Protein backbone atom coordinates (compact mmCIF):
# COMPACT_ATOMS: atom_id res chain seq x y z
CA UNK A 1 0.00 0.00 0.00
CA UNK A 2 2.79 2.42 0.96
CA UNK A 3 4.64 1.55 -2.22
CA UNK A 4 1.59 2.19 -4.42
CA UNK A 5 0.78 5.55 -2.82
CA UNK A 6 4.42 6.66 -2.92
CA UNK A 7 4.84 5.75 -6.57
CA UNK A 8 1.61 7.50 -7.57
CA UNK A 9 2.62 10.58 -5.61
CA UNK A 10 5.98 10.66 -7.36
CA UNK A 11 4.39 10.24 -10.78
CA UNK A 12 1.96 13.13 -10.20
CA UNK A 13 4.59 15.50 -8.83
CA UNK A 14 7.08 14.52 -11.54
CA UNK A 15 4.49 15.21 -14.25
CA UNK A 16 3.75 18.70 -12.95
CA UNK A 17 7.46 19.33 -12.43
CA UNK A 18 8.16 18.50 -16.07
CA UNK A 19 5.31 20.80 -17.14
CA UNK A 20 6.59 23.77 -15.11
CA UNK A 21 10.21 23.13 -16.13
CA UNK A 22 9.13 23.40 -19.77
CA UNK A 23 7.46 26.73 -19.00
CA UNK A 24 10.51 27.87 -17.04
CA UNK A 25 12.77 27.30 -20.05
CA UNK A 26 10.30 28.91 -22.42
CA UNK A 27 9.98 32.10 -20.36
CA UNK A 28 13.71 32.64 -19.80
CA UNK A 29 14.24 35.80 -21.91
CA UNK A 30 17.18 36.58 -24.16
CA UNK A 31 19.60 38.46 -21.93
CA UNK A 32 23.24 39.56 -22.00
CA UNK A 33 25.37 37.64 -24.51
CA UNK A 34 22.21 36.36 -26.20
CA UNK A 35 21.62 39.83 -27.62
CA UNK A 36 25.17 40.24 -28.90
CA UNK A 37 25.11 36.84 -30.60
CA UNK A 38 21.77 37.80 -32.15
CA UNK A 39 23.22 41.02 -33.60
CA UNK A 40 26.33 39.19 -34.87
CA UNK A 41 24.07 36.71 -36.66
CA UNK A 42 21.80 39.49 -37.95
CA UNK A 43 24.74 41.41 -39.38
CA UNK A 44 26.16 38.36 -41.17
CA UNK A 45 25.38 37.76 -44.82
CA UNK A 46 25.04 34.01 -44.36
CA UNK A 47 26.19 31.11 -42.22
CA UNK A 48 29.57 30.87 -43.92
CA UNK A 49 30.46 34.53 -43.28
CA UNK A 50 29.31 34.24 -39.65
CA UNK A 51 31.31 31.06 -39.13
CA UNK A 52 34.49 32.53 -40.62
CA UNK A 53 34.12 35.72 -38.56
CA UNK A 54 33.68 33.83 -35.27
CA UNK A 55 36.43 31.30 -36.01
CA UNK A 56 38.95 33.98 -36.93
CA UNK A 57 38.02 36.56 -34.30
CA UNK A 58 36.66 34.86 -31.21
CA UNK A 59 36.45 31.06 -30.88
CA UNK A 60 36.89 27.67 -32.54
CA UNK A 61 33.95 26.11 -30.66
CA UNK A 62 32.23 24.46 -33.61
CA UNK A 63 28.95 23.49 -31.95
CA UNK A 64 28.61 26.88 -30.27
CA UNK A 65 29.02 28.69 -33.59
CA UNK A 66 26.60 26.42 -35.48
CA UNK A 67 23.88 26.35 -32.82
CA UNK A 68 24.25 30.07 -32.17
CA UNK A 69 23.66 30.90 -35.83
CA UNK A 70 20.64 28.67 -36.43
CA UNK A 71 18.98 29.29 -33.07
CA UNK A 72 19.10 33.05 -33.57
CA UNK A 73 17.95 32.93 -37.19
CA UNK A 74 14.99 30.63 -36.67
CA UNK A 75 12.44 31.20 -33.92
CA UNK A 76 11.29 27.58 -34.08
CA UNK A 77 14.85 26.37 -33.45
CA UNK A 78 15.06 28.75 -30.51
CA UNK A 79 11.85 27.46 -28.94
CA UNK A 80 12.80 23.82 -29.56
CA UNK A 81 16.23 24.06 -27.94
CA UNK A 82 14.86 26.07 -25.02
CA UNK A 83 12.18 23.46 -24.31
CA UNK A 84 14.63 20.60 -24.82
CA UNK A 85 17.35 21.94 -22.51
CA UNK A 86 16.16 20.49 -19.18
CA UNK A 87 15.14 17.05 -20.62
CA UNK A 88 18.53 16.99 -22.38
CA UNK A 89 20.26 17.36 -19.02
CA UNK A 90 18.52 14.27 -17.60
CA UNK A 91 19.14 12.29 -20.82
CA UNK A 92 22.82 13.19 -20.41
CA UNK A 93 22.81 11.71 -16.91
CA UNK A 94 21.02 8.64 -18.30
CA UNK A 95 23.83 8.17 -20.84
CA UNK A 96 26.42 8.63 -18.09
CA UNK A 97 24.71 5.87 -16.14
CA UNK A 98 25.50 3.47 -18.96
CA UNK A 99 29.12 4.63 -19.14
CA UNK A 100 29.51 3.89 -15.43
CA UNK A 101 27.37 0.77 -15.03
CA UNK A 102 27.44 -0.72 -18.58
CA UNK A 103 23.63 -0.87 -18.45
CA UNK A 104 20.90 1.43 -19.73
CA UNK A 105 18.53 2.14 -16.89
CA UNK A 106 14.83 1.53 -17.62
CA UNK A 107 11.70 2.76 -15.91
CA UNK A 108 10.80 -0.81 -15.00
CA UNK A 109 14.18 -1.57 -13.40
CA UNK A 110 14.30 -2.10 -9.67
CA UNK A 111 17.07 0.43 -9.24
CA UNK A 112 15.42 3.12 -11.36
CA UNK A 113 14.66 4.98 -8.16
CA UNK A 114 18.41 5.13 -7.55
CA UNK A 115 18.89 6.79 -10.91
CA UNK A 116 16.06 9.20 -10.08
CA UNK A 117 17.65 10.17 -6.76
CA UNK A 118 21.14 10.45 -8.26
CA UNK A 119 20.13 12.64 -11.21
CA UNK A 120 18.01 14.85 -8.94
CA UNK A 121 20.91 15.37 -6.53
CA UNK A 122 23.15 16.37 -9.44
CA UNK A 123 20.41 18.74 -10.60
CA UNK A 124 20.11 20.45 -7.21
CA UNK A 125 23.88 20.64 -6.69
CA UNK A 126 24.86 22.62 -9.79
CA UNK A 127 25.83 26.08 -8.51
CA UNK A 128 25.10 28.00 -11.74
CA UNK A 129 22.37 25.86 -13.23
CA UNK A 130 20.47 28.79 -14.78
CA UNK A 131 23.58 29.87 -16.69
CA UNK A 132 24.51 26.32 -17.75
CA UNK A 133 21.12 24.93 -18.73
CA UNK A 134 18.36 27.56 -19.04
CA UNK A 135 20.11 30.64 -20.44
CA UNK A 136 20.36 30.30 -24.24
CA UNK A 137 24.04 31.22 -24.65
CA UNK A 138 24.73 29.07 -21.61
CA UNK A 139 23.16 25.85 -22.83
CA UNK A 140 24.75 26.32 -26.26
CA UNK A 141 28.15 26.56 -24.57
CA UNK A 142 27.83 24.05 -21.72
CA UNK A 143 24.84 21.73 -21.86
CA UNK A 144 24.66 20.58 -25.47
CA UNK A 145 28.43 19.94 -25.78
CA UNK A 146 28.10 17.79 -22.63
CA UNK A 147 25.18 15.93 -24.20
CA UNK A 148 27.05 15.25 -27.46
CA UNK A 149 30.17 14.18 -25.56
CA UNK A 150 28.18 11.71 -23.47
CA UNK A 151 26.74 10.20 -26.66
CA UNK A 152 30.33 9.80 -27.88
CA UNK A 153 31.45 8.26 -24.56
CA UNK A 154 28.45 5.92 -24.61
CA UNK A 155 29.56 4.64 -28.03
CA UNK A 156 33.16 4.34 -26.80
CA UNK A 157 32.13 2.38 -23.70
CA UNK A 158 29.86 0.23 -25.86
CA UNK A 159 32.83 -0.61 -28.11
CA UNK A 160 34.93 -1.29 -25.01
CA UNK A 161 32.32 -3.60 -23.44
CA UNK A 162 31.76 -5.38 -26.76
CA UNK A 163 35.51 -5.90 -27.20
CA UNK A 164 35.72 -7.52 -23.79
CA UNK A 165 32.77 -9.78 -24.53
CA UNK A 166 33.75 -10.44 -28.17
CA UNK A 167 30.13 -9.82 -29.23
CA UNK A 168 30.26 -6.65 -31.31
CA UNK A 169 27.59 -7.29 -33.96
CA UNK A 170 26.92 -4.01 -35.77
CA UNK A 171 27.97 -4.59 -39.38
CA UNK A 172 26.30 -1.71 -41.20
CA UNK A 173 28.85 0.98 -42.05
CA UNK A 174 26.43 3.85 -41.43
CA UNK A 175 25.51 2.74 -37.92
CA UNK A 176 29.11 1.91 -37.04
CA UNK A 177 30.98 4.94 -38.30
CA UNK A 178 28.72 7.93 -38.96
CA UNK A 179 27.64 8.43 -35.30
CA UNK A 180 31.17 7.96 -33.94
CA UNK A 181 32.63 10.34 -36.55
CA UNK A 182 30.09 13.11 -35.91
CA UNK A 183 30.05 12.87 -32.12
CA UNK A 184 33.83 12.40 -31.98
CA UNK A 185 34.52 15.58 -33.94
CA UNK A 186 31.90 17.58 -32.02
CA UNK A 187 33.21 16.33 -28.68
CA UNK A 188 36.67 17.52 -29.58
CA UNK A 189 35.64 20.87 -31.07
CA UNK A 190 32.87 22.06 -28.74
CA UNK A 191 34.61 23.56 -25.67
CA UNK A 192 38.18 23.41 -24.33
CA UNK A 193 37.44 22.04 -20.86
CA UNK A 194 35.32 19.16 -22.06
CA UNK A 195 37.44 18.20 -25.07
CA UNK A 196 40.48 17.58 -22.86
CA UNK A 197 38.35 15.61 -20.37
CA UNK A 198 36.99 13.38 -23.14
CA UNK A 199 40.49 12.93 -24.56
CA UNK A 200 41.69 11.77 -21.14
CA UNK A 201 38.82 9.27 -20.72
CA UNK A 202 39.16 7.79 -24.22
CA UNK A 203 42.95 7.53 -23.83
CA UNK A 204 42.46 5.73 -20.54
CA UNK A 205 40.15 3.22 -22.23
CA UNK A 206 42.85 2.77 -24.89
CA UNK A 207 45.19 1.83 -22.05
CA UNK A 208 42.68 -0.61 -20.53
CA UNK A 209 42.07 -2.39 -23.82
CA UNK A 210 45.72 -2.77 -24.84
CA UNK A 211 47.68 -3.12 -21.59
CA UNK A 212 45.15 -4.46 -19.08
CA UNK A 213 42.81 -6.63 -21.15
CA UNK A 214 45.34 -7.49 -23.90
CA UNK A 215 42.70 -7.00 -26.59
CA UNK A 216 42.87 -5.54 -30.08
CA UNK A 217 41.34 -2.12 -30.53
CA UNK A 218 38.39 -2.12 -32.91
CA UNK A 219 38.37 -0.02 -36.07
CA UNK A 220 35.38 1.91 -34.70
CA UNK A 221 37.39 3.02 -31.72
CA UNK A 222 40.32 4.16 -33.87
CA UNK A 223 37.95 6.16 -36.08
CA UNK A 224 36.26 7.81 -33.08
CA UNK A 225 39.59 8.64 -31.47
CA UNK A 226 40.94 10.09 -34.73
CA UNK A 227 37.98 12.43 -35.20
CA UNK A 228 38.15 13.44 -31.56
CA UNK A 229 41.76 14.53 -32.14
CA UNK A 230 40.78 16.34 -35.34
CA UNK A 231 38.04 18.17 -33.44
CA UNK A 232 40.51 19.20 -30.72
CA UNK A 233 42.94 20.51 -33.33
CA UNK A 234 40.12 22.43 -35.01
CA UNK A 235 39.21 23.98 -31.66
CA UNK A 236 42.65 24.88 -30.33
CA UNK A 237 44.14 26.09 -33.62
CA UNK A 238 41.37 28.63 -34.25
CA UNK A 239 42.87 32.13 -34.78
CA UNK A 240 40.05 33.59 -32.71
CA UNK A 241 41.39 31.87 -29.58
CA UNK A 242 44.51 33.99 -29.68
CA UNK A 243 42.49 37.14 -30.22
CA UNK A 244 40.49 36.30 -27.11
CA UNK A 245 43.62 35.39 -25.16
CA UNK A 246 44.95 38.91 -25.71
CA UNK A 247 42.30 40.01 -23.23
CA UNK A 248 43.97 37.93 -20.51
CA UNK A 249 46.95 39.33 -18.59
CA UNK A 250 50.30 37.65 -19.33
CA UNK A 251 51.59 37.57 -15.73
CA UNK A 252 51.97 33.86 -15.06
CA UNK A 253 52.33 34.25 -11.27
CA UNK A 254 49.11 36.22 -11.12
CA UNK A 255 47.38 33.55 -13.20
CA UNK A 256 48.49 30.82 -10.80
CA UNK A 257 47.35 32.86 -7.80
CA UNK A 258 43.92 33.51 -9.31
CA UNK A 259 43.58 29.88 -10.34
CA UNK A 260 44.48 28.64 -6.84
CA UNK A 261 41.68 30.76 -5.40
CA UNK A 262 39.38 29.45 -8.13
CA UNK A 263 40.37 25.84 -7.43
CA UNK A 264 39.66 26.03 -3.72
CA UNK A 265 36.49 28.07 -4.08
CA UNK A 266 35.20 25.62 -6.67
CA UNK A 267 35.37 22.55 -4.49
CA UNK A 268 34.93 24.09 -1.05
CA UNK A 269 32.62 27.05 -1.46
CA UNK A 270 31.21 26.90 -4.99
CA UNK A 271 30.79 30.65 -5.01
CA UNK A 272 28.78 30.85 -1.80
CA UNK A 273 28.08 28.92 1.39
CA UNK A 274 24.54 27.91 0.44
CA UNK A 275 25.61 26.12 -2.74
CA UNK A 276 28.53 24.51 -0.93
CA UNK A 277 26.21 23.08 1.73
CA UNK A 278 23.88 21.63 -0.92
CA UNK A 279 26.81 20.10 -2.79
CA UNK A 280 28.39 18.41 0.22
CA UNK A 281 25.03 17.31 1.59
CA UNK A 282 24.29 15.61 -1.74
CA UNK A 283 27.64 13.81 -1.71
CA UNK A 284 27.10 12.59 1.87
CA UNK A 285 23.55 11.52 1.05
CA UNK A 286 24.70 9.45 -1.93
CA UNK A 287 27.08 7.52 0.30
CA UNK A 288 25.03 7.06 3.44
CA UNK A 289 21.63 6.64 1.83
CA UNK A 290 22.76 3.85 -0.46
CA UNK A 291 25.70 2.47 1.49
CA UNK A 292 25.41 3.00 5.25
CA UNK A 293 28.43 0.77 5.85
CA UNK A 294 31.09 2.19 3.56
CA UNK A 295 34.14 0.02 2.91
CA UNK A 296 36.01 1.52 -0.02
CA UNK A 297 38.78 -0.76 -1.24
CA UNK A 298 41.74 -0.14 -3.56
CA UNK A 299 39.97 -2.23 -6.18
CA UNK A 300 36.91 0.04 -6.06
CA UNK A 301 39.06 3.16 -6.27
CA UNK A 302 40.93 1.84 -9.32
CA UNK A 303 37.62 1.44 -11.14
CA UNK A 304 36.42 4.91 -10.17
CA UNK A 305 39.37 7.30 -9.86
CA UNK A 306 39.62 8.25 -13.53
CA UNK A 307 36.26 10.07 -13.17
CA UNK A 308 37.82 12.14 -10.37
CA UNK A 309 40.87 12.83 -12.54
CA UNK A 310 38.53 13.91 -15.32
CA UNK A 311 36.96 16.42 -12.93
CA UNK A 312 40.34 17.83 -11.89
CA UNK A 313 41.45 18.13 -15.51
CA UNK A 314 38.34 20.25 -16.13
CA UNK A 315 39.64 22.68 -13.52
CA UNK A 316 43.32 22.81 -14.44
CA UNK A 317 42.61 23.44 -18.12
CA UNK A 318 41.19 26.81 -17.02
CA UNK A 319 44.59 28.18 -15.91
CA UNK A 320 45.16 30.23 -19.12
CA UNK A 321 41.70 31.82 -18.81
CA UNK A 322 41.76 33.17 -15.27
CA UNK A 323 40.15 36.48 -16.34
CA UNK A 324 37.10 34.65 -17.66
CA UNK A 325 36.53 32.38 -14.68
CA UNK A 326 33.06 32.34 -13.20
CA UNK A 327 31.00 29.91 -11.21
CA UNK A 328 29.47 28.44 -14.39
CA UNK A 329 32.91 27.14 -15.45
CA UNK A 330 32.78 24.38 -12.82
CA UNK A 331 29.76 22.78 -14.54
CA UNK A 332 31.88 19.97 -16.00
CA UNK A 333 34.03 19.38 -12.88
CA UNK A 334 30.93 19.10 -10.70
CA UNK A 335 29.24 16.69 -13.12
CA UNK A 336 32.29 14.41 -13.22
CA UNK A 337 32.67 14.53 -9.44
CA UNK A 338 29.18 13.06 -9.22
CA UNK A 339 30.11 10.42 -11.79
CA UNK A 340 33.03 9.53 -9.53
CA UNK A 341 30.73 9.19 -6.50
CA UNK A 342 28.24 7.09 -8.47
CA UNK A 343 31.02 4.83 -9.73
CA UNK A 344 32.21 4.18 -6.17
CA UNK A 345 28.68 3.34 -5.04
CA UNK A 346 28.09 1.05 -8.01
CA UNK A 347 31.34 -0.83 -7.44
CA UNK A 348 30.88 -1.30 -3.70
CA UNK A 349 29.90 -4.80 -2.65
CA UNK A 350 27.03 -3.43 -0.62
CA UNK A 351 24.74 -2.66 -3.56
CA UNK A 352 22.62 0.44 -3.56
CA UNK A 353 19.41 -1.57 -4.02
CA UNK A 354 19.64 -2.80 -0.46
CA UNK A 355 18.10 0.37 0.92
CA UNK A 356 15.10 -0.28 3.17
CA UNK A 357 11.73 0.26 1.41
CA UNK A 358 10.43 2.81 3.92
CA UNK A 359 13.54 4.96 3.62
CA UNK A 360 13.42 4.58 -0.15
CA UNK A 361 9.86 5.87 -0.48
CA UNK A 362 10.46 8.69 1.96
CA UNK A 363 13.41 9.87 -0.12
CA UNK A 364 11.41 9.54 -3.35
CA UNK A 365 8.51 11.61 -2.01
CA UNK A 366 10.87 14.25 -0.60
CA UNK A 367 12.80 14.67 -3.84
CA UNK A 368 9.61 14.70 -5.95
CA UNK A 369 8.25 17.48 -3.74
CA UNK A 370 11.48 19.46 -4.04
CA UNK A 371 11.42 19.11 -7.83
CA UNK A 372 7.86 20.42 -7.93
CA UNK A 373 8.71 23.35 -5.68
CA UNK A 374 11.82 24.10 -7.75
CA UNK A 375 9.95 24.00 -11.05
CA UNK A 376 6.96 26.03 -9.88
CA UNK A 377 8.92 28.87 -8.28
CA UNK A 378 11.24 28.97 -11.29
CA UNK A 379 8.25 29.27 -13.62
CA UNK A 380 6.89 32.23 -11.62
CA UNK A 381 10.23 34.02 -11.67
CA UNK A 382 11.03 33.49 -15.33
CA UNK A 383 7.55 34.48 -16.42
CA UNK A 384 7.84 37.72 -14.48
CA UNK A 385 11.31 38.44 -15.89
CA UNK A 386 10.07 37.65 -19.41
CA UNK A 387 7.42 40.39 -19.30
CA UNK A 388 9.77 42.87 -17.62
CA UNK A 389 12.33 42.28 -20.34
CA UNK A 390 9.70 42.65 -23.06
CA UNK A 391 8.70 46.01 -21.58
CA UNK A 392 12.32 47.22 -21.62
CA UNK A 393 12.74 46.06 -25.22
CA UNK A 394 9.55 47.93 -26.12
CA UNK A 395 10.91 51.15 -24.62
CA UNK A 396 14.20 50.75 -26.49
CA UNK A 397 12.50 50.05 -29.82
CA UNK A 398 10.16 53.03 -29.40
CA UNK A 399 13.15 55.25 -28.64
CA UNK A 400 14.99 53.98 -31.70
CA UNK A 401 12.01 54.61 -33.98
CA UNK A 402 11.56 58.15 -32.64
CA UNK A 403 15.34 58.90 -32.86
CA UNK A 404 15.73 59.61 -29.14
CA UNK A 405 19.25 60.38 -27.94
CA UNK A 406 18.67 59.41 -24.30
CA UNK A 407 16.55 56.70 -22.66
CA UNK A 408 16.15 55.60 -19.07
CA UNK A 409 14.87 52.06 -18.52
CA UNK A 410 13.93 50.37 -15.25
CA UNK A 411 16.15 47.74 -13.71
CA UNK A 412 14.59 44.31 -13.25
CA UNK A 413 12.52 43.86 -10.10
CA UNK A 414 11.81 40.15 -10.59
CA UNK A 415 12.83 37.94 -7.69
CA UNK A 416 15.14 35.38 -9.35
CA UNK A 417 14.78 31.67 -8.77
CA UNK A 418 17.49 29.05 -9.04
CA UNK A 419 16.70 28.73 -12.77
CA UNK A 420 16.50 32.43 -13.54
CA UNK A 421 19.39 34.00 -15.38
CA UNK A 422 19.56 37.74 -14.93
CA UNK A 423 22.24 40.41 -14.88
CA UNK A 424 23.22 42.18 -11.68
CA UNK A 425 23.04 45.99 -11.76
CA UNK A 426 26.72 46.44 -12.61
CA UNK A 427 26.64 43.96 -15.50
CA UNK A 428 23.34 45.35 -16.72
CA UNK A 429 24.85 48.82 -16.89
CA UNK A 430 27.69 47.47 -19.06
CA UNK A 431 25.16 45.62 -21.18
CA UNK A 432 23.15 48.81 -21.76
CA UNK A 433 26.33 50.67 -22.75
CA UNK A 434 26.95 48.12 -25.49
CA UNK A 435 23.32 48.21 -26.60
CA UNK A 436 23.57 52.00 -26.70
CA UNK A 437 26.34 51.73 -29.29
CA UNK A 438 24.25 49.40 -31.44
CA UNK A 439 21.07 51.51 -31.16
CA UNK A 440 22.87 54.86 -31.17
CA UNK A 441 20.96 55.81 -28.01
CA UNK A 442 22.34 56.57 -24.55
CA UNK A 443 20.45 53.91 -22.52
CA UNK A 444 20.83 53.85 -18.71
CA UNK A 445 19.13 52.65 -15.54
CA UNK A 446 19.34 54.00 -12.00
CA UNK A 447 20.05 50.88 -9.95
CA UNK A 448 23.22 51.17 -7.84
CA UNK A 449 26.25 49.04 -8.67
CA UNK A 450 26.14 47.19 -5.36
CA UNK A 451 22.39 46.60 -5.33
CA UNK A 452 21.77 43.05 -4.19
CA UNK A 453 19.45 40.76 -6.10
CA UNK A 454 16.67 39.29 -3.92
CA UNK A 455 16.70 35.66 -2.84
CA UNK A 456 14.53 33.05 -4.49
CA UNK A 457 12.85 32.08 -1.22
CA UNK A 458 11.09 35.45 -1.19
CA UNK A 459 9.13 34.40 -4.24
CA UNK A 460 6.75 32.60 -1.90
CA UNK A 461 5.84 35.94 -0.34
CA UNK A 462 5.25 37.36 -3.81
CA UNK A 463 3.02 34.43 -4.73
CA UNK A 464 1.10 34.83 -1.45
CA UNK A 465 0.53 38.51 -2.23
CA UNK A 466 -0.85 37.55 -5.64
CA UNK A 467 -3.31 35.12 -4.04
CA UNK A 468 -4.35 37.69 -1.42
CA UNK A 469 -5.32 40.27 -4.06
Q: Using CA atoms, how far apart are residues 407 and 395, in angstroms rounded to an integer?
A: 8
User: What's the pLDDT at 240?
Assistant: 83
Q: Using CA atoms, how far apart are residues 289 and 305, in angstroms rounded to an integer?
A: 21
Which H or E run contains 442? strand 442-444
Residue that wins the pLDDT comparison between 454 and 117: 117
The total of other beta-carbon atoms located within 10 Å of residue 316's CB is 12
- Which DSSP letter does residue 28 get? P
- Over residues 185-206, mean pLDDT: 93
The total of other beta-carbon atoms located within 10 Å of residue 294's CB is 12
Alpha helices in 219-356 (DSSP H): 219-236, 239-245, 252-268, 273-290, 298-316, 331-347
Q: Using CA atoms, how far apart are residues 449 and 400, in angstroms rounded to an integer?
A: 26
Nearest to 220 by CA among 177, 187, 188, 186: 177
Judge residue 357's burial from the number of C-beta atoms within 10 Å of its C-beta, 0-12 exposed, 13-18 middle, 19 or more buried.
exposed
SS3 150: helix
Q: Sign (positive/negative) of CA torsion 285, 290, 294, 299?
A: negative
pLDDT of residue 319 exceeding 80: no
Q: Using CA atoms, how far apart are residues 14 and 18, in angstroms rounded to an integer?
A: 6
The total of other beta-carbon atoms located within 10 Å of residue 458's CB is 11
Least confident of 258-272, 435-449, 452-466: 452-466
Neighbour-count burial for 142-177, b at 16+ CB within 10 Å, e otherwise: bbbbbbbbbbbbbbbbbbbebbeeeeeeeeeeeebb
Domain residue ranges in the chain: 31-355, 381-468
pLDDT of residue 466 exceeding 50: no
User: What's the pLDDT at 215?
Assistant: 75
Q: Using CA atoms, how far apart are residues 391 and 331, in angstroms rounded to an integer?
A: 32
SS3 443: strand
pLDDT of residue 341 exceeding 70: yes
* Average pLDDT of every residue of the chain: 82
Nearest to 281 by CA among 187, 366, 176: 366
Q: Using CA atoms, how far apart are residues 57 and 182, in angstroms rounded to an integer?
A: 25
Whole-Å CA distances, 27 to 134, 273, 435: 10, 28, 22
User: What's the pLDDT at 90?
Assistant: 95
* Element counts in the chain: helices (H) and strands (E): 20, 2
- Over residues 69-81, mean pLDDT: 95
pTM given for the model: 0.88
- Over residues 269-297, mean pLDDT: 68
Nearest to 97 by CA among 153, 168, 17, 144: 153
pLDDT in tens, 411-446: 998 888 999 999 888 889 889 998 998 888 999 987
Whole-Å CA distances, 179 to 9, 175, 176, 183, 184: 39, 7, 7, 6, 8
Residue that wins the pLDDT comparison between 240 and 215: 240
Q: Using CA atoms, how far apart are residues 176 and 169, in angstroms rounded to an integer?
A: 10
Which H or E run contains 191? none
Which H or E run contains 80? helix 75-101
Amino acid sequence: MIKKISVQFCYIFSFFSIFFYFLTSFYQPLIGDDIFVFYDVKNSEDFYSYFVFKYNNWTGRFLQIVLGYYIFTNEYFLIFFKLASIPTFFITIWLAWYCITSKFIKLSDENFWTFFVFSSLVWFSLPAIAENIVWVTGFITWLYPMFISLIFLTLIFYFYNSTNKNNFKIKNFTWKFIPIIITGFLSGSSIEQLSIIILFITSYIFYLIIFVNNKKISTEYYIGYLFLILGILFLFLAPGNYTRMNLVESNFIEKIFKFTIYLFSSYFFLGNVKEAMIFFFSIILLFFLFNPEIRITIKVLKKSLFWLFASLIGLFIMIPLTNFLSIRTIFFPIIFIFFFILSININLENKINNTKPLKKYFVLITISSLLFFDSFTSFLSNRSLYYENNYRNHLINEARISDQEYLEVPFYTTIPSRLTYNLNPEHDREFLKNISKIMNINIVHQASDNAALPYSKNILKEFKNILDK
